[in-house]
């Protein structure tokens, strides 16, 4: 179902900032423009948070170990992470979103869904105006996808990157999705592509030939999800996060990670960002527990949690091991670290008694 409650099709925009961290660093230091730049990795044992398009030409990408990136691109310029700077830019971008709608679902500092169904203008025109305001006020470029559901909008936002947009109307969805390689479906990584290719499936049209029962038997719950996604079906609403009961920092990998040890330096970077976020925006909140979240290649999710009043890397390491063991060696596509806060009312009652 794509119908909006008012009886009209939804107008969903997926905004994705272009190489956000690297673009901010280039804005701050124009001498970096035109050169291969990566953000993250304080030493060769670290990992990249992002790489600009010049660096991507050499194969550098987010979550790649620094030593590997330098082998691919020896003249790569490494810039340390400055989360405070990125959060400030993100806040300005999200303030622009707020001029158009209250229905904003942030996915990360540089990515969000917007439901603009209530506005008279076309989604395409609204996205163009949002992108123009972002560039005018921040000097940064954004790409956008526009459609009647989140799945297609997200795929479309990658269509004309960088600094472009694509609108896929409801009528165009069947033809648009059928022609896509299955790897364009969010969640279909290298291993899944190989499994599908072994079955003779290369495009979504090929995948549409398999029924729900067969997909479920082969791939479990993820198979049922695949059946819907390869047809462009998605009824998820844009859901704003109105209550901050927790704060997290997470990353989705372009290629699934199959080794727990490879997750540790990535988690270290995430904890660093989480620490800065807490100090900057949530210094008045009391931490109740620490959380590590893993999403596996089959889209099953698990979280390991332990009570504790402060960020402790050793605890996060133990929680990662706990969560990893539950996966029984399944590849990981998303890693997140976070904290849950005490309810302020609970603290008041504790202090009273």
Is 129 assigned a catalytic role?
A: no
Q: How far apart are CA 51 and CA 40, in angstroms?
A: 9
Q: How far apart are CA 41 and CA 334, in angstroms?
A: 19
Backbone angles phi, psi at 350, to 5 degrees: -60, -40
Backbone angles phi, psi at 246, to 5 degrees: -155, 165
The tokens for 301 are 């999710």
Helix axes 260-281, 83-97, angle to 10 degrees: 70
Helix axes 123-138, 83-97, angle to 10 degrees: 140
The tokens for 220 are 């479990």
Q: For residue 200, what are the CA distances in angstroms to 93, 122, 177, 194, 205? A: 43, 39, 18, 10, 11
The tokens for 187 are 């969640």
Which one is catalytic: 25, 54, 105, 111?
A: 111
User: What sign does the dihedral 319-323-329-331 (CA atoms) show?
Assistant: negative
Cis? peptide before 310, omega within 30° of 0: no
Q: In 199-312, which residue ranges form alpha helices assigned H by DSSP? A: 204-207, 212-219, 221-229, 260-281
Longest dimension (CA), the chain: 67
Q: In the chain, which residue ranges form alpha helices assigned H by DSSP? A: 20-28, 53-56, 66-72, 83-97, 123-138, 150-157, 173-178, 190-198, 204-207, 212-219, 221-229, 260-281, 313-326, 344-352
Catalytic residues: 111
């Amino acid at each position: 179902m794509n119908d909006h409650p008012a009886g009209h099709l939804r107008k969903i925009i997926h905004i994705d900032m272009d190489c956000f961290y690297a673009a901010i660093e280039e804005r701050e230091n124009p001498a970096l423009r035109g050169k291969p730049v990566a953000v993250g990795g304080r030493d060769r044992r670290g990992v990249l948070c992002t790489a600009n398009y010049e660096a991507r030409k050499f194969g550098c990408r987010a979550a790649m170990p620094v030593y590997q990136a330098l082998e691919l691109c020896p003249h790569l310029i490494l810039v340390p992470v400055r989360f405070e700077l990125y959060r400030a830019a993100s806040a300005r971008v999200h303030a622009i979103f707020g001029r158009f709608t209250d229905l904003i679902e942030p996915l990360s500092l540089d990515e969000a869904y917007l439901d603009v169904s209530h506005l008279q203008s076309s989604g395409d025109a609204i996205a163009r105006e949002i992108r123009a305001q972002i560039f005018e006020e921040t000097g940064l470029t954004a790409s956008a996808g526009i459609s009647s559901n989140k799945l297609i909008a997200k795929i479309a936002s990658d269509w004309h990157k960088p600094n472009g947009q694509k609108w896929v109307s409801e009528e165009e969805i069947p033809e648009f999705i059928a022609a896509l390689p299955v790897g364009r479906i969010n969640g279909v990584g290298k291993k899944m592509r190989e499994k599908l290719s072994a079955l003779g499936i290369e495009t979504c049209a090929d995948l549409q030939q398999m029924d729900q029962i067969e997909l479920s038997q082969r791939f479990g719950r993820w198979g049922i999800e695949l059946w819907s996604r390869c047809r462009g079906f998605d009824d998820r609403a844009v859901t704003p996060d109105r209550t901050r009961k927790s704060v997290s920092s997470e990353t989705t990998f372009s290629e699934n990670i199959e080794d727990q040890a490879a997750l540790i330096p990535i988690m270290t970077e995430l904890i660093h960002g989480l620490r800065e976020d807490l100090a900057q925006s949530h210094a008045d909140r009391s931490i109740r527990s620490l959380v590590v979240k893993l999403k596996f290649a089959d889209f099953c999710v698990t979280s390991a949690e332990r009570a504790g009043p402060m960020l402790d890397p050793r605890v996060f390491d133990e929680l990662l091991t706990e969560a990893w063991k539950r996966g029984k060696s399944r590849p990981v596509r998303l890693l997140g670290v976070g904290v849950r806060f005490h309810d302020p009312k609970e603290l008041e009652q504790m202090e009273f008694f």
